[in-house]
Amino acid sequence: MQRQADQLAPPAAPCSLTQLSRQQQLRLLQVLFCCEAGRMAQRGISLDEDMLRCSICLDLLKDPVTIPCGHNYCSECIKNHWKQQDQKAIYSCPQCREVFTPRPVVGKNTMLAELVEEIKKVALRDAPCLHQYVGPGDVSCDFCTGRKMKATKSCLQCLASYCDLHLQPHYDSPAFKTHKLVTASADIQENICSLHNKMKEIFCRSDQRTICFLCSMDEHKGHDTVSAAAERTEWQQELGARRQDIWQRVQDREEALKLLQKEGDIITGSASDTVENIQAMFKQLLQLLAQRSYDIQQLIGSQQEAEMRQVEELQQRVQQEISELTRRDQELEKLAHTEDHVQFLRRYPSLISLGPSTNSPINIRSPNYFNQITYAVTELIQKLQDTLRQEWTRIAMTTAALPQTPAHHGIPPSPQAILSKVGSLELPPKIHPKPERPKDSAPAAPPPLTKSKTAPRPPRRLKSFDDKVLIPSAYSNIIPTAQFHTSSMEFKMLKPTYPTHPTPGTHLQKGPKVSSPTYPTPDQSKGPLSDLTEGENTFTSPLGYPSLDKFKVLPPAAPNHTPGEPKMRTEFLPYACRLHLDPNTANKMLVLSGQNMRVTRGKKKQSYPNHPERFTDRFQVLSREGLTGRCYWEVEWSGIVSVAVAYKHIVRAGGTSGFGDNKMSWALYCHNNKYIHDGRSLDLPGPPCSRIGVYLDHEAGVLSFYSISSTMALLHQVQAVFTQPLHAGICVGSGSAELLQLL
């Protein structure tokens, strides 16, 4: 290095390296480094930053120091290396193994440290941006080694892709001036014939494919061939017309889209306006009902005041008579003690002269004196319910019959589908209020259960509501009912009249219950206009009398299948589900077996642990799985068995905990062919069958029971609104029952 410095220094002013400034020393070192790099490049040796790496940590030198043998290391690296040799007191170079004793004192090589910093700056400045490296979906440069750069152009003659750095010769060298450069493409190799490894420069019109020159002389010999450039020219001329066709179609579709958007706006606007109108109409109806309620209250209040005024007048007259009689009695008592015989004889005749008696029998009215108005209002509500029920069907049918959108290619929904979707809005059947009768009167016969034959009324457009439009006949019945008979001295007890009107028949009869107590439910506290309770519709009389059947029963002879409901057993099997009985719900007299799919009535109590979900008063068990959607299962039974579905929160104890004895369950008594729900039973035709199939469509609210033998026959079908998941239930009074595995 000193000789090289001497050669570079001017001969007239020789100087040593230590006499140079630090800037001159660094410049000299860079010149020497570049000279050495040039000589190494001539010998084919590359010079890079690896020459300035520490041989211990393999990283660029940090605080470089030079040891006596001339090798360079990081200050911390060589110190740590020699620290391990302190016990032997012999120190060596990690590269050449030269031994030093004692431990050499090293200092920082300032020029080498500054050179390393300069190299770091140059490397940082010349490093490519991260976005120039190839990434997912990019075409890589075919000439980059190591980490590849992103290609920007592909050469159709070279059939290779280049980054900006390796593409420069194509711009600078005359040899590449005729090469065709295109946007970088990963499919550039497809321009090479896979058979002959030649460029595809010919287009075969016969086979509609590009080929190479050798292909045209071989397997494509005799075909109609032209150059790829000539075929491209012809296709290019057609491209404009094709684009025009596409553009015209796009415009047509955009116009259709605008029309559809306009139609959507019309539908939305019409629906919104209709909803607003209906809300206003129902609001007016509610206001009318509220007004009629107020009028009836005023009517009752006026009648009460009139009656009470007469009662008070009579009370006053009777009180005056009592006072007069009391006064006479006191004077007679005083007269009885007088000693003046003349005065006694003079006053006695006038005091005992009472005149004709006004006493007459007073008959106290019944506590249900005003109940006649209640009966009339109940009749009004029943007629209103009948009207709404009939009109709702017509409205649903009208909605289903609306014209479909022309662009809609689906099948319009059926009225049954709409009714099944809004089944929860179905109003309850009409009920008969049961008036309290006087204690001395004979029991009244219950009203007959006859099927309503009222036909739906033709639709009417109502612009406003008044008392003449809203069930005029029923409302007018309220007024005569309020005419009470009174007299000045006689109260006559009014004998209540029992309203008789037809009731929609459901072929249900009062079924036997285990116990007669009736427990109040939340729906019974909502008043006469309560809406929906526990998935079914009910109307509770203001007097608290029980209503009739609260669910629709479809006749077994002509079941109304919902859209898409299976009819053959093979159609039910795809909906088969595997159920398991829940031991935590089983009565302790029941024995579960067969992977909890079989239940048998035991002879003694089982050692089941206490559990809040266990049935205690009925020999029942529920399935572990909750059921929603469409489900089908079969039960094989013998003895006295009932098959049911129930909500999970059905009561577990008491007289109403049996399947079918409450609103939370629907049951089929297999041994005597009876259907029961909410304590009301229905006798089913046909003999009992040892295998029962149960089909549930939770969303549509359909529950069906089938007898399974050589054929499949519908025993009973129920339409309800299920608000919670259902669980399969089995009650075994004697014998056994098993959930069959159909899967």
pLDDT digits (tens, 9 = 90+) for 41-99: 445 444 456 778 898 898 888 889 999 998 999 999 999 998 888 888 888 999 898 99
Comparison of pLDDT for 472 and 734, the residue scoring more: 734
pLDDT digits (tens, 9 = 90+) for 572-585: 999 999 999 999 99
- Could you give the percent of the chain with pLDDT greater than 70? 69
pLDDT digits (tens, 9 = 90+) for 535-549: 333 333 333 333 333
pLDDT digits (tens, 9 = 90+) for 117-143: 887 777 666 555 555 788 887 888 988
CB atoms within 10 A of CB 84: 9
Query: Out of 292-306, 467-481, 591-605, 666-680, which region has the weakest mean confidence (pLDDT)?
Result: 467-481
Comparison of pLDDT for 485 and 390, the residue scoring more: 390
Comparison of pLDDT for 249 and 13, the residue scoring more: 249
pLDDT exceeds cutoff 50 at 729: yes
Band of pLDDT at residue 471, cut at 50, 70 and 90: very low
Among 232, 192, 190, smallest CA distance to 214 is for: 192
From residue 458, alpha-carbon distances to 150, 154, 388, 390, 395 in Å are 78, 79, 13, 10, 11
Burial (CB count <10 Å: 0-12, 13-18, 19+), residue 516: exposed
* Kind and range of the H or E run holding 418: helix 415-421
pTM over cut 0.85: no
- Distance, CA of 319 to CA of 306 (rounded, Å): 20
Band of pLDDT at residue 565, cut at 50, 70 and 90: low
| pLDDT (0 to 100) of residue 35 | 52
| pLDDT (0 to 100) of residue 264 | 92
| pLDDT (0 to 100) of residue 518 | 35
pLDDT digits (tens, 9 = 90+) for 662-697: 999 999 999 999 999 999 999 998 888 999 999 999
Comparison of pLDDT for 138 and 608, the residue scoring more: 608
Mean pLDDT of 308-333: 88
pLDDT exceeds cutoff 50 at 378: yes
Token pair of 534, please?
């526990």
Comparison of pLDDT for 214 and 584, the residue scoring more: 584
Mean pLDDT of 501-530: 35
- Distance, CA of 416 to CA of 670 (rounded, Å): 30
Tell me the average pLDDT of the chain.
75
| pLDDT (0 to 100) of residue 494 | 35
Q: Rounded to an integer, what is the distance from CA 468 to the centroid of its chain?
A: 45
Band of pLDDT at residue 599, cut at 50, 70 and 90: very high
Helix (H, G, I), strand (E, B) or coil at 437: coil
| pLDDT (0 to 100) of residue 399 | 74
> Long-range contacts for 703-711 (Cβ within 8 Å, ≥24 apart)?
703/645, 703/666, 704/559, 705/643, 705/668, 705/675, 708/569, 708/634
Helix (H, G, I), strand (E, B) or coil at 66: strand
pLDDT exceeds cutoff 50 at 36: yes
CB-CB contact of 652 with 613 (8 Å): yes
Largest CA distance in the chain: 187
